[in-house]
Amino acid sequence: MAMYFKDRAAAGNELAKQLIQFRYENSIVIGLSDGGVAVAEPIATQLHCLMTLLLLEDIKIPGEPEPFGSVNQNGKFSQNSFYSAGEIEGMYSEFHGVFEQQQRENLSHMNALLGDGGILSPQMIKDRVVILVADGLLNGASLDAAMEFLKPIRTKRIVIVTPLATRIATDKMHLMGDEIHTLAINDDMLEVDHYFEDNTLPTREETIAKINKAILNWK
């Protein structure tokens, strides 16, 4: 049976109850999208820890519902492990120019949003418990990009948190995280927005303004 929530903050409050052991740890909560930040905010508030956002942009395949991969704010591209190596090779060969253009545009957009100060640096993450928060995971493609960003950084523990996930995404969470927390596993999952009565989300610019204000308050 599907689980529904009033809004993303309500889901975050439920998840925070499962994470209370990290309240006195050296933790950082990282949203994987604007919706992820909306879930992450009550978690960070209850854990009394820093919250930020990892900027990710999908690289889309014309006519395909699944993204080809994602590019993170450092310009690192991560392929969507939903596709086989053969499918990836075929799509890259056919749509190489489209992918390259999207990657340039996405990186330019993220750089403009980041501004001079940047929004997430390795120094903020190093030797902390890293709590990655999504508002729902259909396939876990955003986790591939997040782990690519985290790979060179020494962390204490990686905890992956989402209110909703498919079984495929849950399997990926188990492989990538030291610990996972989810409120519902649904194999027939629709688009993430379907499970929240109130789908109001801030714009990316508003999200980043909120994050930067939170970071300034911690400095």
46-82: pLDDT as tens digits: 998 888 888 777 777 777 766 777 777 666 777 776 6
Q: Which of 13-22, 46-55, 79-88 has the lowest mean pLDDT?
A: 79-88
3-state SS class at 159:
strand
| Residue at 106: amino acid letter | N
pLDDT reported for residue 204: 75
pLDDT reported for residue 117: 47
Task: Identify the residue with better confidence: 184 or 55.
Answer: 184
Angle CA(194)–CA(198)–CA(201) in degrees, nearest 5?
A: 95
pLDDT reported for residue 148: 85
In contact, 44 and 117? CB cutoff 8 Å:
no
* Most confident among 113-122, 136-145, 173-182, 204-213 (mean pLDDT): 173-182
Look at residue 206 and tell me whether its pLDDT is greater than 50: yes
All structural domains of the chain, each given as residue ranges with its CATH number in brackets, are: 8-57+116-218 (3.40.50.2020), 59-114 (no CATH)
pLDDT reported for residue 110: 62
| Residue at 27: amino acid letter | S
Cα–Cα distance measured from residue 61 to residue 36, given in angstroms and rounded to the nearest whole number: 23
Q: Which two tokens stand for residue 13?
A: 């409050």
Reported pTM: 0.79
For residue 2, count CB atoms less than 10 angstroms from its CB and return exposed for 0-12, middle for 13-18, buried for 19 or more: exposed
For residue 85, count CB atoms less than 10 angstroms from its CB and return exposed for 0-12, middle for 13-18, buried for 19 or more: exposed
Q: In whole numbers, what is the pLDDT of the chain averaged over residues? A: 83
Task: Identify the residue with better confidence: 183 or 25.
Answer: 183
pLDDT reported for residue 119: 60
Rg of the chain (C-alpha set): 17
Cα–Cα distance measured from residue 77 to residue 106, given in angstroms and rounded to the nearest whole number: 11
Q: Which two tokens stand for residue 102?
A: 């999207």
94-153: pLDDT as tens digits: 777 777 777 777 666 666 665 544 466 788 889 999 999 999 998 777 888 889 889 999
Cα–Cα distance measured from residue 124 to residue 180, given in angstroms and rounded to the nearest whole number: 21
Look at residue 160 and tell me whether its pLDDT is greater than 50: yes
Cα–Cα distance measured from residue 42 to residue 48, given in angstroms and rounded to the nearest whole number: 10
Cα–Cα distance measured from residue 80 to residue 14, given in angstroms and rounded to the nearest whole number: 29
pLDDT reported for residue 116: 45
* pLDDT band, very low/low/confident/very high, at 7 (cuts 50, 70, 90): very high
